[in-house]
């Protein structure tokens, strides 16, 4: 698939790049995408939720009333889960939600997501650029020039660029990552995928290994 290269003013540079077929034109596997996104979201969970059981509640352990003869149910202490302020039965405990996926499956999921983006014509290739200073206005002008105002965008850079990253950080629907950080969730969560010519080469080299 051939894509025209644009500059940061949104105009065609006259150059064209070929999106590698082994990345952007495979037979997508939806189940691989599902597993990869499930793992990504699971890894975002802190797992620090905690409720107190009856042995952790501060309170007296004396028996509230005699075992028999009251007509009511027997009760051991005020810390019973049946009473207000008592411990919780089977409440949440700290745990790790992460799980393992094979590397080949994760690569397949990423290629499948990129294929969907390419087929929907939601991949934009820009010539390499940088900002001289950190200004949100610079990134806003870039988005407006590409007619993507109000749309979720994901810009993939070949390496870390603080001027571009910090300029985009205050824009709600804009995200900037490096090619090494590319993941299935971010690709599918954006409306338009913005690649630079160098980041495209970086991805091609990474997926070719």
- Give the separation between CA 96 and CA 6, rounded to whole angstroms: 44
> Which tokens belong to 44?
């975002």
Task: Based on the fold, state whether residues 167 and 179 are members of the same structural domain.
Answer: yes
Same domain? For 54 and 117 the reply is no
Looking at 96, 127, 160, the residue that finishes a domain is 96
Q: Residue 1: its pLDDT value, please? A: 80
Q: Give me the torsion for CA of 8, 10, 12, 18, rounded to 10°.
A: 70
155 in the same domain as 81: no
Considering the domain architecture, whether residues 25 and 54 belong to the same structural domain is answered as no
pLDDT band at 161 (very low <50, low <70, confident <90, very high): very high
The average pLDDT across 36-54 equals 96
6's tokens: 């644009």
Residue range 75-95: mean pLDDT, rounded: 93
Question: Do 19 and 106 share a structural domain?
Answer: yes
Q: Which of 36, 67, 96 is the last residue of a domain?
A: 96
Percent of the chain with pLDDT over 90: 94
Q: Domain total for the chain?
A: 2
Q: What percentage of the chain has pLDDT greater than the value 70?
A: 100
Please give the mean pLDDT across all residues of the chain: 94
- Residue 22's pLDDT is 94
Q: Which domain holds residue 79?
A: 48-96
The predicted pLDDT at position 209 comes to 78
Q: Does residue 60 sit in the same domain as residue 146?
A: no
């Amino acid at each position: 698939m051939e894509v025209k290269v644009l500059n940061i003013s949104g105009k065609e540079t006259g150059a064209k790049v070929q999106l590698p077929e082994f990345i952007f034109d495979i037979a997508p596997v939806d189940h691989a995408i599902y597993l990869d996104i499930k793992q990504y979201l699971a890894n975002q969970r802190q797992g620090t939720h905690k409720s107190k059981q009856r042995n952790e509640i501060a309170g007296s352990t004396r028996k509230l009333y005699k075992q028999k003869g009251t007509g009511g149910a027997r009760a051991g202490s005020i810390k019973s889960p049946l009473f207000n302020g008592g411990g919780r039965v089977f409440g949440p405990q700290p745990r790790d939600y992460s799980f393992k996926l094979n590397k080949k499956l994760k690569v397949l999921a990423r290629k499948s997501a990129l294929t969907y983006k390419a087929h929907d014509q939601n991949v934009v290739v820009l010539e390499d650029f940088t900002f001289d200073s950190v200004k949100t206005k610079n990134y806003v002008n870039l988005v407006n020039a590409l007619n993507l105002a109000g749309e979720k965008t994901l810009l993939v850079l070949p390496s870390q660029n603080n001027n571009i990253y910090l300029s985009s950080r205050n824009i709600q629907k804009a995200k900037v990552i490096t090619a090494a950080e590319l993941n299935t969730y971010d690709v599918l969560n954006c409306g338009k995928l913005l690649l630079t010519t160098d980041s495209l080469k970086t991805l091609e080299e990474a997926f070719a290994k």
